[in-house]
Amino acid sequence: MNWLGKPYYSFHAMLHERFGEKVYKLTLDGGMTCPNRDGHLDTRGCIFCSAGGSGDFAADSTFSITEQINAQKARILQKRPVHKFIAYFQAYTNTYGPIRYLETVFTEAISHPDIVALSIGTRPDCLDENVLQLLIALNIQKPVWIELGLQTVHERTARYIRRGYDLDCFLHAVSSLHQRGIDVIVHTILGLPGESREDMLATITCLNQLPIQGIKLQLLHVLSGTDLARDYENGLFSVFSMDEYLDILITCLEHLSPEIVVHRLTGDGSKDLLIAPAWSSAKRTVLNELHHRMRTKNTWQGRLYHP
């Protein structure tokens, strides 16, 4: 396995291995909502989620999917020559809607000649049999990846963040997707209020035992307008310093199965909304320091790391 100079199996390495060249994500908005916002479960959303439903960098939903793809592709091509793209439905819950509508938007995206894969962000409680059958059909055309927002395996934290489903629901969704040949990418958050180092590592240990293909390790961001921001401003919890975050992140990576692709290592909180931690806005600095520390440590899953 060629990790392309990274001390972990990176998303970039996986894409190069699978598609033979640089591939970019296009973040699309399918105009979805979420059961945690429309009153089905709650109206407030998850405690950390911005008004944009984690899709603050998505394209304009007033445009068609094809128009969104072409507009984002044009901006990328102004800076670098790229030929292949991933259609990423990120904002809100992208399997929560009428099945005919879901089929229409996903088919439009996956049929675009420059799209090589479809990535769909959703909740494990929004994957009924009709949705699963649609995903199977789409996955025959081009690779389909489902991104599930777990955040943590601990029920007490899940209740605090208003996740709205229990761990068994998540485990069932992973099993159902795996049985149908759909790749699963799991979103986690490091630094959730009340979670210890051992709690965070327990989430990694659980995921190592599941048939998942990817993980996003997200730093907890406090964003303006969220209930999490209210608790932060009331002094109910503190956020990681960069040193603290890199320490737990490296430990998580050392515990993570080397077969699991690392899609994200810190996250991208919108600078217009970010309250804390301020250092996280310098993403390139954070990643450079991470790689420096891992190379200096010079171990990876008990083996010497050779750049």
Say what the pLDDT of residue 187 is: 97
- Count of the separate structural domains present in the chain: 1
Q: Which of 96, 212, 97 is nearest to 153 (CA)?
A: 212
As a whole number, mean pLDDT of residues 261-283 equals: 89
Model confidence over 22-64: pLDDT tens digits?
Answer: 999 999 999 999 999 999 999 999 999 887 545 445 567 789 9
Do the domain assignments include residue 66? Answer: yes
Do the domain assignments include residue 49? Answer: yes
| pLDDT score of 227 more than 70 | yes
Do the domain assignments include residue 79? Answer: yes
Whole-angstrom distance, CA of residue 102 vs CA of residue 108 = 10
Do the domain assignments include residue 157? Answer: yes
Residue type, 113: P
Say what the pLDDT of residue 6 is: 85
* pTM for this entry: 0.93
| 134, 98 Cβ separation under 8 angstroms | no
Strands of the chain, DSSP E = 23-28, 84-89, 115-122, 144-151, 183-190, 214-219, 222-223, 261-264, 274-276, 299-300, 303-304
Please report, for residues 43, 115, 178, the alpha-carbon distance to residue 213 in angstroms, rounded to integers and kept in the order given: 32, 20, 10
Mean confidence (pLDDT) of the chain? 92
User: Using alpha carbons only, how large is the chain's radius of gyration in Å?
Assistant: 19
Would you place residue 191 in the very low, low, confident or very high pLDDT band (cuts 50, 70, 90)?
very high
| 116, 19 Cβ separation under 8 angstroms | yes
| pLDDT score of 7 more than 90 | no
Burial of residue 78 (CB within 10 Å: 0-12, 13-18, 19+) is exposed
Residue 233: give the domain boundaries: 11-297
| pLDDT score of 181 more than 90 | yes
Say what the pLDDT of residue 300 is: 52
The CATH number of residue 24's host domain is 3.80.30.30
Do the domain assignments include residue 4? Answer: no
Model confidence over 94-141: pLDDT tens digits?
Answer: 999 999 999 999 999 999 999 999 999 999 999 999 999 999 999 999
